[in-house]
């Protein structure tokens, strides 16, 4: 019997395989340039996005700063038209306090401060007039007798020593707790404002009684 024909295969050598793989993986100069341009474009897009985000943050910060400035100016304006009244009888109503200072001029709002824990009056009040010039007239009533007590009347100042804010703050939009007039609103409401007919017929922004 003759020996089986030997199968002859031309297997590539390892060196040839490595060379072929290297030739397939090497990018052409054109491909490298395109890839580089894509990277540059992606970086530019990212930079543009970051700049847009930074501009938006600057705009938001400017709005916050302006709002804070407006609030500060508004508060200073209110303070310039207001007086602090101390040693107020605990049973006094906003209407009684308004009547006591009615002769001084048009009143926008009367605010009786409440203890933030008990909800009871603290014996202090604020009276906001329509004009800053009326404050001087109200100071004449310092040590005047109200409900058997000698009142302490001074211009309102921000952060008076010994004064703390109750619930809600002095913004004329209602605190939490306390009582209101008119009408009774329990845990909220506006501030107390005199009705038309008091010294020239008040038609201002008063919104009822608003405890702190």
Would residue 41 count as lying in a domain?
no
Q: Which residue has the tokens 């490595």?
A: 18
Local confidence band at 21 (pLDDT 50, 70, 90 cut-offs):
low
89 has a pLDDT exceeding 90: yes
pLDDT in tens, 42-86: 999 999 999 888 888 888 887 787 777 767 767 888 899 999 999
Mean pLDDT of the region 10-35: 66
Mean pLDDT of the region 78-105: 95
Taking the C-alpha atoms of residue 101 and residue 128, their distance in angstroms, rounded to an integer, is 10
Would residue 55 count as lying in a domain?
no
Mean pLDDT of the region 2-8: 55
Would residue 20 count as lying in a domain?
no
Neighbouring CB atoms inside 10 A of 194's CB total 22
Per the structure, how many domains does the chain have? 1
Would residue 60 count as lying in a domain?
no
Cis amide prior to 183 (ω within 30 degrees): yes
- Most trustworthy range by pLDDT among 33-42, 102-111, 178-187: 102-111
Q: Tokens representing 180?
A: 């209101």
Q: Which parts of 59-194 are beta strand (E)? A: 82-86, 107-114, 121-129, 145-146, 149-150, 152-155
What confidence score (pLDDT) does residue 150 get?
96
Would residue 2 count as lying in a domain?
no
> Which domain does 189 fall in, by range?
81-212
Would residue 52 count as lying in a domain?
no
Would residue 51 count as lying in a domain?
no
% of residues, the chain, pLDDT over 70: 60
104 has a pLDDT exceeding 70: yes
pLDDT in tens, 155-211: 998 654 444 444 333 333 333 333 333 333 333 333 455 544 333 333 333 333 444
Kindly report the CATH number assigned to the domain that includes residue 171: 3.30.70.330
What confidence score (pLDDT) does residue 105 get?
94
What confidence score (pLDDT) does residue 24 get?
56
Would residue 22 count as lying in a domain?
no
Taking the C-alpha atoms of residue 137 and residue 200, their distance in angstroms, rounded to an integer, is 17
Residues across the chain: 212
The answer to whether the CB of 155 falls within 8 A of the CB of 83 is yes
């Amino acid at each position: 019997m003759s020996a089986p024909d030997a199968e002859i295969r031309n297997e590539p050598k390892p060196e040839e395989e490595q060379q072929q793989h290297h030739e397939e993986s090497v990018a052409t100069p054109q491909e490298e340039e395109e890839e580089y341009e894509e990277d540059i474009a992606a970086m530019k897009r990212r930079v543009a996005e970051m700049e847009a985000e930074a501009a938006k943050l600057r705009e938001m910060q400017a709005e916050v700063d302006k709002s804070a400035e407006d609030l500060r100016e508004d508060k200073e304006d209110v303070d310039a038209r207001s007086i602090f009244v101390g040693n107020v009888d605990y049973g006094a109503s906003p209407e009684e306090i308004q009547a006591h200072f009615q002769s001084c001029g048009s009143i926008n709002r009367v605010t009786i401060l409440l203890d933030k824990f008990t909800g009871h009056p603290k014996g202090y009040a604020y009276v906001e007039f329509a004009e800053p010039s009326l404050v001087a007239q109200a100071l004449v009533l310092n040590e005047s007798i109200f409900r058997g007590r000698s009142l302490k009347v001074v211009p309102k100042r921000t952060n008076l020593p010994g004064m703390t804010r109750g619930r809600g703050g002095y913004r004329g939009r209602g605190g939490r707790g306390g009582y209101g007039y008119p009408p009774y609103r329990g845990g909220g409401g506006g501030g107390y404002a005199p009705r038309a007919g008091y010294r020239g017929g008040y038609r201002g922004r008063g919104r009822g009684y608003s405890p702190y």
